[in-house]
Amino acid sequence: MSVIFGSSLEEWGFIPTFLHDDDPRPAKEQFADRYVSGWNKFEGFTFNRARGTLKYPGDPEMHPVGVMIFHDEFIVLFPSAWVLILQVDHTCGKSRMD
């Protein structure tokens, strides 16, 4: 089971159910297979690692609702169902999963 910080399981909705611990693939691939809309990388956001915030030009900065550790990835949930996957090498992908 994934470890979740800073939020209740209810805030995550169905997102954790798309991830299977016995599947060695990264979260992005599992979301792509199991989430009805797949994983659709969304460009334009800036992730500030030092502050842990996500920002889209012209919008206010968003603070995380919660963080999930899955295998060696950090999955960060933001308001409005924005999800960020942070890799060990510090690369990240963002998608909306509502």
Q: What is the pLDDT of residues 39-72, one digit of tens each?
A: 998 999 999 999 999 999 999 999 999 999 999 9
Q: Is 22 helix (H, G, I), strand (E, B) or coil?
A: coil
Residue 55, exposed/middle/buried by CB under 10 A (0-12, 13-18, 19+)? middle
Any idea where the domains of the chain sit in the sequence? 3-96
Q: Where do runs of H (alpha helix) occur along the chain?
A: 9-12, 27-34
**What token pair was written down for 17?**
């159910």
* Mean pLDDT score, 83-88: 94
**For residue 75, what pLDDT is reported?**
95
pTM, to two decimals:
0.90
